[in-house]
Amino acid sequence: MLHFDEQVASDLEFDIVRAMLAEKALQPTAKSRAHVLVPLRNRKTIVRLLQETDELRRIKTEGESFPSLEFEEMPDEIRMLEIRDSVLSEAAFNIISRASNTVNQIIQSLKDKENKYPRLHHVKKNIYDTKDLITPIAKVFNANGEISDKASQALNNIREEMTGLRRKTSQSFNRVMRDLQAKGMLADIREGFVNERRALAVESTYKRRVNGNVLGSSNTGTITFIEPAVVVPLNHELEILRDDERKEMRRILKDLTKIVRAHLPLIRLYSQTLIEFDWIQARAKLAIDLKAYLPGLPNKTGLHFIKAFHPLLVKTNEILGINTHPQTIELSKEGRLLVISGPNAGGKSITLKTVGLLQVMFQSGLLIPVSPASEVGFFDSILTDIGDNQSIENQLSTYSYRLGRMKHFLEVSDNKSLLLLDEFGTGSDPELGGALAEVFFEELYKRGVSGVITTHYANIKSRAAELPHAINASMLFDRDTLAPLFKLHIGQPGSSFTFEVAEMIGIPQAIITRAKTKLDKRKVELDALMGDLQKEKGKIAKLANRQLRAEVDAQKLSLEASKIKSQFSEKNTALNKATEENNKELSLGKKMNQFISRFKPGTKNKELLEEILKLLAVETARKNKTSAKPADAVKRRPNHRSNEIKVGSVVKLRSGKEKGDVLSLQGKNATVLFGAFKTRVKIEKLSLVK
């Protein structure tokens, strides 16, 4: 991303997110990637990273099988295999075997799921399920990762000799030890090990009476460690066998290295693939931890966060047992510059940081804690001025620093920039600084930037109200209790509640009254009016929500009534049909009774039989006509009547059953209220219900 620097990462606390991501990684490469992660501007790359992450997140949260990545990176092993006649260590073969086994498990877990998880399938496309490495390594090593006795016949023979010799040595040693023990010449510990050789712990007083090699003594000198003479030749022979064992083991490893070296290209692919999956699983684990999802991906700038959370605030509040309020924020062509005002400690800065951090995470390939119904576009640069930054080295004040940042923004910003300015214009004389800030605001607006700006300056709020593609917003505040509600309200600027807060914390009324006389009367009235408007608008919003809920409930009752009416109609039709059938059966029964009455035994009853046959033919033809199946009907495509949708229509998603009310239409999109959830949907994805 253009112009992204560590100051932006620090301002938005992205450095903390990177550290959290690094903790989720298993191996050094993925950890290193996490620490240096930066947002990108190539849409294709960002989408690939996001979809990889989301696919693995779904696998882990939906209970599908996926192997734990039990592997170690193999740079040293690959480097050794590239050297002719080199021999890998025992540990190296175990690392390669585990890598091969893990890759095989990944392949099996994704088998026949290319359509469901296309991105993960692409990551492993160049590798295949094989035991070409696992089998030869398994023939050499046992379950503990040690060279097996069966690795070669020669090794098996050597180890059998060593076992027999150790048994003989132990027997001879124990015989001498029992003899000396009986004579009282051994210390209490009886024996010890010196340089991995078993020795008798002889009281130093008797050391000259024991035949053998002196290997050492205790720190105090009271004990002398002696190797009995009877085991010396046996140990010497054992040492020769150990040397034979080492030579045979090296020969085995050398032969096995040749076999493994033949598969070096595959091992390189194993390494690359497993590193990629480690990187993906780190991102997926972070997404699960933060309850993050994949939003919609429109190919444009702008964003529409629905139920967005600041991930670090959520983590902090969870520790403190505090509820975190989600925010719904939109930056679109109609309102690309959002100016947020209101009292301090009301949530302006955290709202701004939420926008910035989530956008940086998103363009870094990380899923974000928002509703999946959200849509997030792409920016070429993210520019921030947040917090009280000073430069002691250059002797710059906060305001000087901010002017320097503003100069930079004016030089580099354009219509693909996301701008985040906290406490815009502060740090200087309110009137002079406010005037300069207003000009800066106009210049940035002309460049087509999108962004979020927090301010207390009335002239900035007024200018935002005048510009067609800027919009005011405020953080809601309960004027009765003066408690922040941490909810963003779009459409009007907020009051600073300066005097109300002062009165609440106990500043004498006389001082507050004197302070008001120092101000332009219109300024005081305007601030009070804004506070009253915010309060009234809150009441209206509650009433509007109640009205919407009532309308939705009424619509539901109407649909239920229609459904019941339809069910009664179907039952009535079925009843009429049954009655008609019963009447026909009754009529036929009467006719049969008449035929029986007219039947004369001992005669031919020719006329009667003709009437019966005629009746049977008519009834058979009627039943055949009734039971005949119609010709195969041509399947018609469902008529969704999307072109008839208007404000107030009842609609449903083509892919679901939930019904909602259309609140507004904007081009090819509709804003729909599903229950208590309001979202924007493409009209082509809706069906008209009513």
Task: Give the C-alpha separation, 290 to 274, whole Å.
Answer: 24
Reference 68, options 77, 76, 59; nearest CA is 59
Q: What angle do CA 112, 113, 117 make, to 5 degrees?
A: 160
- Give the residue-averaged pLDDT of 203-213: 91
Mean predicted confidence (pLDDT) in 382-400: 64
204 has a pLDDT exceeding 70: yes
* Pairing label, strands 223-228, 212-217: antiparallel
State the Cα–Cα distance between residues 541 and 556, nearest whole angstrom.
22
Write the class of the CATH domain 6-149+255-290.
Answer: mainly alpha
Alpha helices in 124-152, H assignment, sequence order: 134-140
Q: What is the pLDDT of residue 580?
A: 73
Q: Residue 480 has what pLDDT?
A: 67
Q: What is the pLDDT of residue 149?
A: 94
Residue pair 481/365 in contact by the 8 Å Cβ criterion: no
Single out the residue of 187, 188, 228 nearest to residue 205, CA to CA. 187
- Burial of 635-665, coded b for 16+ CB within 10 Å and e otherwise, reads eeeeebebeebeeebbbbeeeeeebbbbeee
Give the pLDDT of residue 497: 66
Largest pairwise CA distance in the chain? 146
pLDDT 10s digits, 549-574: 666 666 667 667 777 777 777 777 77
Q: How far apart are CA 583 and CA 537, in angstroms?
A: 68
Q: How far is CA 518 from the centre of its chain?
A: 54
Q: Name the band, by pLDDT with cuts 50, 70 and 90, for residue 458.
A: confident
Q: How far apart are CA 281 and CA 70, in angstroms?
A: 12
Beta-strand runs (E) in 185-335: 186-194, 197-203, 212-217, 223-228, 303-308, 327-331
**SS3 track for 629-667:** CCCCCCCCCCCCCHHHCCCCCEEEECCCCCEEEEEEEEC
The confidence band for 522, taking pLDDT boundaries of 50, 70 and 90, is very low
Least confident of 131-135, 328-332, 383-387, 633-637: 633-637
**Residue 631 has what pLDDT?**
47
Contact yes or no for 302/336 (Cβ under 8 A): yes
Lowest mean pLDDT among 169-178, 417-426, 514-523, 594-603: 514-523
What CATH code is assigned to 642-688? 2.30.30
pTM (predicted TM-score): 0.70
The rounded percent of the chain whose pLDDT value lies above 90 is 55
Which of 416-430, 431-445, 483-497, 605-619 has the largest mean confidence?
A: 431-445
Per-residue pLDDT at 430: 63
> What topology does CATH give the domain 303-497?
Rossmann fold (3.40.50)
256-277: average pLDDT: 96
382 close to 360: Cβ distance less than 8 angstroms: yes
Pick from 547, 543, 551, 542: nearest CA to 660: 551
| 63-109: pLDDT as tens digits | 899 999 989 999 999 999 999 999 999 999 999 999 999 999 999 99
Average pLDDT of the chain to the nearest whole number: 85
The DSSP H or E segment spanning 372 is none
Least confident of 19-28, 273-282, 489-498: 489-498
Phi/psi of residue 226, each to 5°?
Answer: -125, 130
pLDDT at 392: 39
pLDDT for position 527: 56
Average pLDDT on 271-276 reads 96
Q: Which amino acid is at 316?
A: T
Q: How far apart are alpha carbons 260 and 270 in whole angstroms?
A: 13
CA 139, CA 133: separation in Å to the nearest integer? Answer: 10
Q: Which pLDDT does position 140 carry in this prediction?
A: 96
Lowest mean pLDDT, pick from 43-47, 106-110, 407-411, 508-512: 508-512
Cα separation, 101 vs 129, whole angstroms: 9
Domain ranges of the chain: 6-149+255-290, 156-241, 303-497, 545-612, 642-688
pLDDT (0 to 100) of residue 572 = 73
* Residue 396 pLDDT exceeds 70: no
Give percent of the chain with pLDDT exceeding 70.
Answer: 85
Letter for the amino acid at 83? I
Is residue 137 predicted with pLDDT exceeding 90? yes
Task: Determine which helix (DSSP H) or strand (DSSP E) holds 487, and give its type and residue range.
Answer: strand 483-490
pLDDT at 391: 45
Euclidean distance between CA atoms 322 and 313, whole angstroms: 10
Higher pLDDT, 587 or 329: 329
Rg (CA), the chain: 42
